[in-house]
């Protein structure tokens, strides 16, 4: 289990909740667990959405895995890399490009990709769902799609 997955699981375990608002999740990660600064917690949430660990619907974040089954040791402290390059790889650039092309916010593009995932039976990663969402909305990603394919092969 990755540190990102453990961090998401612990936030929902601490709150004993199946869904949290973005603000509540941010406060749990930063203030209650004292793992991240609030701005870093925002990036952790975005990364979890991109990696398909969370979905956002109607202002609520919901984990896409059973957080109750996740074993998170009491002494756990995440070593999630928040390096901008890692967080903003090809998939993040694709989200930004699609948002710009469609005149939407990034979270709207992520929500659209979530819909694609649900429609296709949750068999696609969030990153792949963003590419499908882009194609369905007439956004051609050009070199970014090729870069992303290379990242997947690595």
What Rg do the C-alpha atoms of the chain give, in angstroms?
15
Report domain extents, the chain: 3-82, 88-153
* Cut 0.75: pTM above it: no
Q: Tell me the fold of 3-82.
A: Arc Repressor Mutant, subunit A (1.10.10)
Residue-level pLDDT at 106: 87
pLDDT in tens, 32-65: 999 998 988 988 998 888 888 999 988 899 999 9
How remote is the C-alpha of 43 from its chain's centroid?
A: 9
Contact 102, 109 (CB under 8 A): yes
Q: Which pairs with CB-CB distance under 8 Å and at least 24 residues apart come from 137-140?
A: 137/98, 137/101, 137/102, 137/112, 139/97, 139/98, 139/101, 139/102
pLDDT in tens, 7-21: 999 999 999 999 999
DSSP 52: T
Exposed / middle / buried, residue 140 (Cβ in 10 Å: 0-12, 13-18, 19+) = exposed
């Amino acid at each position: 289990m990755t540190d990102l997955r453990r961090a998401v699981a612990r936030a929902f375990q601490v709150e004993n909740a199946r869904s949290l608002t973005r603000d509540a999740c941010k406060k749990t990660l930063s203030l209650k667990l004292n793992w991240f600064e609030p701005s870093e917690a925002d990036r952790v949430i975005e990364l979890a959405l991109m990696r398909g660990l969370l979905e956002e619907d109607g202002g609520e974040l919901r984990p896409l895995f059973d957080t109750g089954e996740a074993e998170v040791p009491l002494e756990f402290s995440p070593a999630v890399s928040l390096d901008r390059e890692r967080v903003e790889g090809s998939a993040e650039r694709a989200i930004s490009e699609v948002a710009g092309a469609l005149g939407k916010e990034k979270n709207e593009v992520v929500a659209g990709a979530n819909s694609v995932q649900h429609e296709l039976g949750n068999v696609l990663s969030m990153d792949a769902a963003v590419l499908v969402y882009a194609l369905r909305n007439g956004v051609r990603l050009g070199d970014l799609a090729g870069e992303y394919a290379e990242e997947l092969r690595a």
